[in-house]
């Protein structure tokens, strides 16, 4: 059996054919080319999906169902993208549009939820019953799996872990609140803290790196720390402290079997993960329990969204 997973992003539309063993057989993509009408984007989603089917050497008749992961608030029951500021969508009946184009059962879910489901099925959270996946990117994305099913809340906007406050009256977040987890623990937040440290201490190794690279990145502080820069270590320690606070909060609420973190920052590996685990271990409410949440790095990367989307029919049944 074969399934189609579509990852609809603000820059690219990616589609893949996935087999019943969660293996991607083929992938195709095209530009989202925003802004433009949702109907045109749906046409390109269907076209890209069909190209992936052809590339896999099968036919549309071999496809069981199609799943879509998209930014925004998604009503999985009605198949409507209720609102997505990234796409400029409001009340878009994406399931209806794709059913008409492809003639297959279609399911839709928030992209972070779809990626979390992918990690649950075939990645770092495989084998868990309850899992939380947090992505550290431009923002902080969240996906929650409870008893093997995606949890999205009564209004389909659940798992907004990034918009929980960890410092009252902290810096303003894009959501309008102050001191959100996302402000401190996203890659964007790390860049901001790095830039502030360089401005306060212009003689650091980080300053030299920025001149060479032409910009401050989420890698700057970690890279300089490895070269012995004390100011860089202070930035990294501060970043990990905030990240640990948000993750501890999440564990205290959901008590998942596994909490996996993904995003480019996680490429730092042990210099990020080991001190993070130590801080969480000290702060988590269940520190004296025989079984605690395992914190791991996500495995599937950009493929998580395609794999998770492809099997949304399982989570909906």
Q: Give CA–CA dist 164/167, Å, rounded.
A: 9
Q: What is the reported pLDDT for 269?
A: 92
Asked if 249 and 132 touch (Cβ cutoff 8 Å), the reply is no
pLDDT at 155: 85
- Residue 86: the pLDDT is 83
pLDDT at 317: 61
Distances (CA, A) of 311 to 19, 22, 135, 151, 305: 10, 9, 20, 15, 10
Measured CA to CA, the distance from residue 159 to residue 163 in angstroms comes to 9
The alpha carbon torsion through 218, 219, 220, 224 (nearest 10 deg) reads: 140
Tens digit of each residue's pLDDT, the chain (317 residues): 999 999 999 899 999 999 999 999 999 999 999 999 999 999 999 999 999 999 999 999 999 999 999 998 999 999 999 999 889 999 999 999 999 999 999 999 999 999 999 999 999 999 999 999 999 988 899 999 999 999 988 888 889 999 999 999 999 998 899 999 999 999 999 999 999 999 999 999 999 999 998 999 999 999 999 999 999 999 999 999 999 999 999 999 999 999 999 998 999 999 999 999 999 999 999 877 768 899 999 999 989 999 999 999 987 66
- The pLDDT value recorded for residue 299 is 96
Q: 241, 250, 233, 251: which is closest to 278 by C-alpha?
A: 241
Whole-angstrom distance, CA of residue 14 vs CA of residue 8: 6
In the three-class reduction of DSSP (H, G, I as helix; E, B as strand; rest coil), residue 296 is classed as: strand
Q: Between the CA atoms of 120, 123, 128 and 129, what dihedral angle is there, to the nearest 10 degrees?
A: 10
The pTM of the full predicted model, rounded to 2 decimals, is: 0.90
Is there a contact between 10 and 32 (Cβ–Cβ < 8 Å)? Answer: yes
β-pairing, 73-75 vs 63-70, is unpaired
For the chain, domains (ranges, CATH) are: 2-121+302-315 (3.30.420.40), 126-297 (3.30.420.40)
Q: Which two tokens stand for residue 22?
A: 């969660």
Q: In degrees rounded to 5, what are phi and psi of residue 263?
A: 105, 165
Strands (DSSP E) along the chain, which ranges? 2-8, 12-19, 24-31, 63-70, 73-75, 80-84, 89-92, 106-110, 131-136, 140-146, 149-151, 258-262, 294-297
Q: CB burial class (10 A; 0-12, 13-18, 19+) of residue 170? A: middle
Please tell me the distance from the alpha carbon of residue 130 to that of residue 148, in angstroms, as a whole number.
6
């Amino acid at each position: 059996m074969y399934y189609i997973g579509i990852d609809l992003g603000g820059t690219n539309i990616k589609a893949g054919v996935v087999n019943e063993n969660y293996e991607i057989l083929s992938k195709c993509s095209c530009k989202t080319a925003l802004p433009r009408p949702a109907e045109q984007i749906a046409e390109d989603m269907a076209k890209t999906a069909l190209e992936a089917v052809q590339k896999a050497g099968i036919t549309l008749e071999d496809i069981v169902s199609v799943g879509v992961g998209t930014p925004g608030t998604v009503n999985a029951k009605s198949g409507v993208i209720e609102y997505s500021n990234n796409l400029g969508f409001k009340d878009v009946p994406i399931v209806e549009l794709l059913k008409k184009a492809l003639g297959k059962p279609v399911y839709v879910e928030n992209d972070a939820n779809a990626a979390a489901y992918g990690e649950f099925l075939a990645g770092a959270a495989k084998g868990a019953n309850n899992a939380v996946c947090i992505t550290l990117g431009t923002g902080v994305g969240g996906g929650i799996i409870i008893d093997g099913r995606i949890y999205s809340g009564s209004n389909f906007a659940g798992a907004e872990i990034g918009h929980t406050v960890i410092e009252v009256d902290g810096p303003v977040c894009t959501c309008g609140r102050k001191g959100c987890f996302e402000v401190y623990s996203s890659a964007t937040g790390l860049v901001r803290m790095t830039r502030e440290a360089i401005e306060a201490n212009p003689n650091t190794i980080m300053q030299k790196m920025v001149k060479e690279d032409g910009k401050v990145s989420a890698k700057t502080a970690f890279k300089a720390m490895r070269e012995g820069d004390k100011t860089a270590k202070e930035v990294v320690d501060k970043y990990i402290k905030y990240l640990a606070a948000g993750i501890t909060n999440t564990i205290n609420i959901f008590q998942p079997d596994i909490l996996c973190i993904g995003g480019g920052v996680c490429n730092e590996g042990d210099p990020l993960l080991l001190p993070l685990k130590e801080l969480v271990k000290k702060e988590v409410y269940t520190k004296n329990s025989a079984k605690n949440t395992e914190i791991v790095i996500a495995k599937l990367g950009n493929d998580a969204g395609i794999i998770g989307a492809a099997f949304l029919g399982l989570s909906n049944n």
